[in-house]
């Protein structure tokens, strides 16, 4: 069974990283990747001793896989606005993709990957190496970063509160709607509207697990017009209805 364990974000990574977790999975264990607005940096190893440092871009739809034997997998979820300056490319270029960091950074990433392999699955040591290197590879754009973070907060919403429409968010942030869409796509990789759709589905999943499948209540709490609207959006992004997903009736697994 795969297990994901949260870890404390080291102080040196806090400006870049909002969450760290370690995932350990056995071969054949099903892996479900739900839609995700975050960009992550992942270091994983295999039982054969290979190791990769990967960029996992935002995921616009769920995917279902037969798992590989991955004895060690460390995920760093990047803060909104941190991926663009760290990676050196628009986040829109990595949406629905998994890319070797070496393809973006070149030799420096290959050297870092080799160093992480020598840590031999010691999560604290892997984090220490990342804490040393990642902050030196990023630049800052204070005004743009603040705009992205404020927009993400406004578009994420909270249970029981309907999200403001994108034009209203732009007015509140004192920018044009076009400028907001351009900056958001570059920094987050998604349009503000697509970001909202994914966040609503993730929030509905979380509440369904915590509170049970009271679908009409969940639809109202997560900002859908009604239950049928939620079901249609869920099917589009997850590939199945909410009830089928919670019962484990998911699409056929694909090779990972």
> Percent of the chain at pLDDT above 70?
92
For the sheet containing 254-255, what is the strand order?
30-33, 63-66, 254-255
pLDDT for 25 equals 63
Question: What's the whole-number average pLDDT of the chain?
Answer: 89
* Angle subtended at Cα 38 by Cα 11 and Cα 13, rounded to the nearest 5 degrees: 10
110-118 average pLDDT score: 95
30-50 average pLDDT score: 88
16-43 average pLDDT score: 87
**Assigned fold of 142-246:** Arc Repressor Mutant, subunit A (1.10.10)
In the chain, what are the domain boundaries? 3-137, 142-246
163-167 average pLDDT score: 82
Band (pLDDT 50/70/90 cuts) for residue 187 is very high
The whole-angstrom separation of Cα 87 and Cα 82 is 9
pLDDT for 161 equals 60
114-129 average pLDDT score: 94
pLDDT tens digits, one per residue of 56-78: 999 999 999 877 777 789 999 99
Q: Is 227 helix (H, G, I), strand (E, B) or coil?
A: helix
> Percent of the chain at pLDDT above 90?
64
pLDDT for 10 equals 96
Assessment of whether the complete model's pTM goes beyond 0.85: yes
Q: Which residue would you say has higher pLDDT here, 80 or 157?
A: 80
203-217 average pLDDT score: 87
């Amino acid at each position: 069974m795969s297990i994901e364990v949260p870890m404390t974000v080291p102080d040196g990574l806090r400006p870049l990283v909002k969450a760290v977790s370690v995932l350990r999975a056995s071969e054949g264990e099903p892996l479900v990747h739900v839609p995700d607005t975050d960009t992550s940096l992942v270091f994983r190893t295999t039982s054969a001793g290979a190791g990769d440092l990967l960029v996992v871009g935002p995921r616009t739809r769920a995917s279902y896989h037969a798992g590989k034997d991955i004895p060690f997998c460390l995920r760093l979820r990047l803060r909104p606005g941190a991926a663009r300056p760290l990676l050196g490319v628009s986040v829109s270029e990595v949406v629905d993709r998994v890319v070797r960091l070496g393809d973006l950074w070149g030799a420096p990433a290959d050297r870092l990957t080799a160093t992480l392999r020598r840590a031999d699955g010691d999560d604290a040591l892997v984090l220490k190496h990342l804490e040393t290197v990642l902050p030196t590879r990023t630049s800052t754009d204070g005004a743009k970063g603040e705009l992205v973070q404020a927009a993400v907060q406004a578009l994420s919403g909270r249970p029981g509160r309907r999200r403001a429409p994108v034009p209203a968010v732009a007015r509140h942030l004192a920018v044009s709607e076009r400028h907001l869409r351009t900056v958001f796509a570059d920094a987050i990789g998604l349009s503000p509207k697509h970001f909202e759709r994914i966040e609503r589905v993730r929030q509905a999943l979380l509440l369904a697990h915590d509170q049970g499948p009271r679908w009409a209540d969940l639809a109202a709490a997560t900002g859908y017009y009604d239950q049928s609207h939620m079901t249609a959006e869920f099917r589009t992004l997850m590939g199945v209805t909410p009830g089928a997903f919670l019962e484990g009736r998911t699409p056929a697994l694909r090779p990972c």
